Structure 1
Amino acid sequence: MTPTPRFPRSSGVLLHLTSLPSPHGSGDLGPAAYHFIDWLHAAGQSVWQFLPLGGIGLGGSPYMSSSAFAGNVLLIDLTELHRRGWLEADDLVAQEGLSDERVQFDRVIPYRMERLRRAAARFETTATPQERADLAAFQTKHAVWLNDYALFMALSEHYGERLWNTWDAALAQRQPEALQQARARHAERVAFWTFAQWCFFRQWAALRAYAHDKGVRLMGDMPIFISLNSADVWARPDLFQLDASGNPTVVAGVPPDYFSATGQRWGNPHYRWAAHEAEGFAWWIARLRATFELVDWVRVDHFRGFESCWEIPADEPTAIGGRWVQTPGVALFEAVSKALGPLPIIAEDLGVITPEVTALRQRFGFPGMRILHFAWGQNDGGDNAYLPHNYTHDTVVYPGTHDNDTSQGWWATAPEAVRHHLREYLACDGGDIAWTLIRAASASVADIALFALQDVLRLDGTQRMNTPGTAQGNWTWRFTWDQVQPGHAAGLLRFGQLYNRLPA
């Protein structure tokens, strides 16, 4: 096992793709994504971090995807489909009344899905031999997950988005004859979902190549757990803790913490780790291999779950009644690194972190995370791990992440003890708190410093991306280019020069 090499001293911006400007209701892989890469390059930033790229779940959450492998088809650039002749100009007429500042999922999803259906239909009648060959090659390359995913999505539509374990028993139990009949019966819809994934992966490969040309690394986000209503759980129920009816016996979450007094009950099924270990962690190897085909670095969400998981009985309404259960993280990462080589992983090690979790992270050379919002007002001058003087180089530092309030919003509600400690520690008056924290992160010894775009733009708490423990009103934030002023890029570039974070 070779530990991950040290990450380069660098900085970047956290922005999910749906937050980009676009005339079609939400950000996508279109011109604004390329322009954002240009902006990062001009600002001396070499990392673009975003949230998971899979399909979204309830409330627009990118952490409850229908597949651990598939891309979010709502991110497909419709203008590129028009250039290929699969959409007409009239198809690109934007809906009236769509917000430039929020994603209105109830309107955006049907609009974009209808355009993808039209594009798939025109592809069937107008595609060139080379385009058909490219699609066939994509299907062959990704068959290990794509075939199950496309059929799952077709059946999910057929059954009105019901949980897979409520489908006809023969299909829920994946009886071979029933699956064969379903593929024939739903062939058109299976072909659609295959086509949509091909479009996503094509467009993503082009964007990634452009980012590399500009010296920008793409940093993804991999949730540790999988949604119950996913192609993965349907295809391999033996790898998850389910009862005979396909319902979880225990579900995932975290105990009470900074974000919630009752903890968080996420509801994802837990892994049957013995089954994964018996297969040499083949599913995890395939998952991480697929992830690194899309991104350069990956933040592994809830890393502490690879040492011990919080198991909540499925009939418990909150997370309070859970318990810690040890997981085989060492064996898992040894198997994956043996198969894939050194792993450019950032460990999201927030929350209840034990010495065992830290030892697991350090054993494989994964940087951990530090949040400046958590640094002040306790252990004044002491051993609070979030205070910059306690950082080590194997750290990724943020003022706040997508789960935090914006720095302006956080400061507006911070207790006076927090304000006093920060002002004294950073020798500031708190008048420009977002950029004060960006400077503190940049100046620290952490190898990587990342800033939410909301903080770069000095936005208030109404512009936060997510409030953990709440089901509504999240994941919708967007920005507009007129909010981005020349001083923003110039300021980041200057900090990169001052604190040696510019690309080599």
Structure 2
Amino acid sequence: MERTAGILMPVFSLPSPYGIGSLGQSARDFVDFLRRAGQTWWQILPVGPAGNGDSPYQSVSTHAGNPVFIDLDLLAEDGLLTAEELASIPAGDSRAVDYPAVNASRVRLLRLAFSRARDRDSAAAFAAQRLWLRDYAAYQAIKDSFGGLPWQDWPDEGLRRREPSAVERWQAEHGEDLAYQIWVQYVFSKQWTALKTYANAAGVRILGDLPIYVSLDSADVWAEREQFLLDGEGRPAAVAGVPPDYFCAEGQLWGNPLYNWPYMKADGFGWWIRRVERAGELFDAIRIDHFRALASYWSVPAGASIAKEGRWETGPGMDLVGVLTSWFPHLRFIAEDLGMLTPDVGELLKASGLPGMKVLEFAFDGPENGYLPHNCVKNCVLYTGTHDNAPAAAWTADGTETVYAKRYLGAKTPEELRRRLLLAGQTSVADTFIAQMQDYLGDTGRINVPGTANGNWRWRMVSDVDLNALADEIYQLTLDAGRCPPRIG
């Protein structure tokens, strides 16, 4: 495996005059920054339409793209929006995404652009080749017509149960709304493909994220509920979560429906194959979120108030992992093997041969800790911290861990500790090292605090940073660590 480095930077965090990052010039500028910095990987978070709590891990579709990431300037270049219309968008907070304002402005402007679109036939042809898009477009259009209600609460029983006659009747009566949803996904995919092509040509590969679970209120569950453990009314008997661990002392009650693993196995895991096939259109490599749930998963009774009330159940293991790695040999998979680990997780990771993850911010409780640089292995991805951790500049472990970290890394001040964490990660034996963009910026802004429902997924990078100077600094560190080739010229 080649020795590489990368940076974790969500699309929503990119600078933009329109309140949130997008797939246009700011994304290309970031690719240029990564290339100059000698980085091979751009790791992003899930890019689906955000659901509950604006979380990308609670998307209403495992296949669709988030409409708010569509670049409005590119639509204006196509003659679909005017400069005056773009000027009407509130600038918003340059440091944090205001989702209600962003969502409202995007719906208004995308509807306006659609009314002027000349490529509806191309969008329809795009949808004809993707079964998921027909289901998603119907789900989202119906959901919007009912004021955003979850599908389990739709007042039309036929639509709620997805009876073919009811869905066909609704589609015949609301063809324009259906065409709009299809067009939005067509535009997202067109802009995404152009961005990925640009990145790959610059030597930058995109590391995407495959959330282990899907939202109960999603097109996936509505269209294929037999894949999930639900009753006749679409309600789960048990839901997903995790027991107490280092992220959250009380555990986390996620509430996602659990998979009907016996059904999926009997079907040859077709649902997962279709899901990864779509992810392979978007990404060069895929991080399998909460990989440990494929060995054993935490099942919490529906109605339970805390995750502690759950119990372990056996996951699909190599039956699923082997299918995915054999079907998609061109994709690189990374196992997010964090959390409360049991022996079966290590056995599955070893059997799969996939690289696991190690996190420096969890390392400093003693010399036997497997996350310490001297205990690292080559076949892993080492992080300073993930999107669920504080950035290095804001990292505060308890007293003993901080003392040990400073002694181990030879750091006296918080700034020295930030820089030494990056140096330790870069110079480790791990095949891949990834840091959050905030770690290099010295920014204390956090992306997510696990176990909290509000205030997450909002951090934005300010636009007045001297990225050229920072890229040169990162490049020298990456070059000295043997993670990128020397520049030519």
Range that drifts further, 273-282 or 346-355 = 346-355
The 5-angstrom pairing of residues 16-55 of structure 1 reads: 16-55=10-49
Q: Please name the residue that 1:322 is paired with.
A: 310
The match for 1:195 among 175, 183, 191 is 183
Which amino acid letter does the alignment assign opposite residue 370 of structure 2? A
Measured after TM superposition, the shift of residue 481 of structure 1 is 2.6
Aligned position for 1:114: 108
Q: CA deviation at 1:132?
A: 4.2
Aligned to 1:406: 391
> Quick check: 1:16–1:51 contact (8 Å CA) kept in 2?
yes
For the pair 1:100 / 2:83, whether they are aligned, the reply is no
Match of 1:446 in 2: 430
For 2:377, the equivalent position in structure 1 comes to: 392
Q: Which amino acid counterpart does residue 164 of structure 1 have in structure 2?
A: W
Q: Which runs of structure 2 are paired with 1:184-263 in the superposition (5 Å)?
A: 184-263=172-251
Unaligned runs of 5+ in 2: none
Cα separation, 1, equivalents of 2:208 and 2:33: 19
Shift of 1:242: 0.7
| Residue type of the alignment partner of 1:300 | I
- 1:162 maps onto 2:144 in alignment: no
Pairs within 5 Å for 1:172-183: 172-183=160-171
Contact conserved, 1:64 with 1:226, CA < 8 A, in 2? yes
Indicate conservation of the 8 Å contact 1:423/1:429, yes or no: yes
Runs of 4+ in 1 over 4 A off after TM superposition: none
Identity %: 42
> Contact 2:240–2:255 (CA<8 Å) still a contact in 1?
yes
More divergent stretch after superposition (227-236 vs 354-363): 354-363
1:58 aligns with 2:52: yes
Verify the 8 A CA contact 1:46 1:503 in the aligned structure 2. Answer: no
1:421 counterpart letter in structure 2: Y
Residues 253 and 319 of structure 1 are in contact (CA less than 8 Å); yes or no, is this contact kept in structure 2? yes
CA distance in 1, matches of 2:121, 2:171: 21
Q: Distance in 2 between matches of 1:419 and 1:231?
A: 45
Structure 1 residue 365 displacement after superposition: 2.1
Listed one character per residue, the Cα deviations across residues 209-245 of structure 1 (whole Å, up to 9, x for unaligned) are 0001110000011101000000000001111011111
CA deviations over 1:350-376 (Å, ceiling 9, x no partner): 111123212212222211111111111
Q: Distance in 1 between matches of 2:349 and 2:125?
A: 38
> Among 469, 481, 498, which residue is 2:451 paired with?
469
CA distance in 2, matches of 1:399, 1:502: 19
Could you tell me which amino acid in structure 1 is paired with residue 187 of structure 2?
C
Tell me by how many angstroms 1:485 deviates. 4.7
Contact 2:17 2:91 in 1 (8 A): no
Letter in 2 for 1:121: S
Report the more deviating stretch, 206-215 or 421-430: 421-430
Greater mean deviation of Cα atoms: 174-183 or 264-273: 174-183
- Segments of 5+ residues of structure 1 without an aligned counterpart are 1-5
Give the match's secondary structure for 2:298: strand
1: distance between equivalents of 2:92 and 2:20? 9
Partner of 1:362: 350
Closer, same or farther in 2 for the Cα pair 1:119/1:217, shift >3 Å? same
Shift of 1:133: 4.4
In structure 1, which of residues 425, 428, 440 is the aligned counterpart of residue 408 of structure 2?
425
Aligned partners of 2:114 and 2:330: how far apart in 1?
39
The amino acid of 1:365's aligned partner reads: G
Is the CA contact (8 Å cut-off) linking 1:308 and 1:325 kept in structure 2? yes
Tell me the TM-score normalized by structure 2.
0.96
Cα 1:478–1:94, aligned 2, differ >3 Å: closer, same or farther? farther
Partner of 2:6: 12
Give the total of aligned pairs: 484
Q: State the partner residue of 1:345.
A: 333
Against the structure 1 CA distance between its residues 477 and 94, is the aligned structure 2 distance closer, same or farther, given a 3 Å change threshold? Answer: farther
1:296 matched to 2:284: yes
Letter in 1 for 2:350: Q
1:282-304 residue CA offsets vs partner (Å, 9 max, x unmatched): 01001001101100011111010
Residue 253 of structure 2 aligns to a residue in which SS? strand
Kindly report the root-mean-square deviation, in angstroms, between the aligned alpha carbons of the 2 structures. 1.4
Amino acid at match of 1:478: R
Q: Which residue of 2 aligns with 1:284?
A: 272
- Amino acid in the other structure paired with 2:412: D
Aligned-pair CA distance for 1:427: 2.2
Quick check: 1:307 aligned with 2:295? yes
2:420 maps to which residue?
436
Q: Which residue of 2 aligns with 1:141?
A: 129
| Worse-superposed segment, 149-158 or 335-344 | 335-344
Mapped partners of 1:257, 1:386: distance in 2: 16
Name 1:73's counterpart in structure 2.
Answer: 67
Partner Cα distance (2:353, 2:83) in 1? 50
Alignment-mate amino acid for residue 415 of structure 1: D
Structure 1 residue 136: Cα displacement: 3.0
Per mean C-alpha deviation after superposition, the further-off stretch among 334-343 and 416-425 is: 334-343
How far 1:112 moved relative to its partner? Answer: 1.1
SS class of match (1:44): coil
Q: Is the 8 A contact 1:45 1:503 kept in 2?
A: no
Task: Work out the CA distance in 2 between the residues paired with 1:449 and 1:340.
Answer: 24
Distance 2:472 2:204 in 1: 17
Task: Give CA deviations for 1:299-336 in whole Å, capped at 9, x if unaligned.
Answer: 11101011111000011011000001001121112222
**Secondary structure at the residue paired with 2:395?**
helix
| Contact 1:457–1:484 under 8 Å retained in 2 | no
Q: Which amino acid aligns with 1:459?
A: D
Find the aligned partners of 1:335 and 1:96 in 2 and give their Cα distance. 47
1:479 aligns with 2:461: yes
Quote the residue 2:137 is aligned against: 150
Aligned to 1:100, the other structure's residue is in SS state coil
CA distance in 2, matches of 1:503, 1:65: 38
Whichever residue aligns with residue 227 of structure 1, its letter is S
Query: In structure 1, what is the Cα distance between the partners aligned to 2:48 and 2:485?
Result: 29
Paired residues of 2:409 and 2:417 also in contact (CA < 8 A): no
Q: Deviations over 1:393-450 (max 9, x none)?
A: 1111111111011112113xx3331122112212222442222111100000001101
Other structure's SS at 2:256 match: strand
Structure-2 separation of matches of 1:456 and 1:137? 43
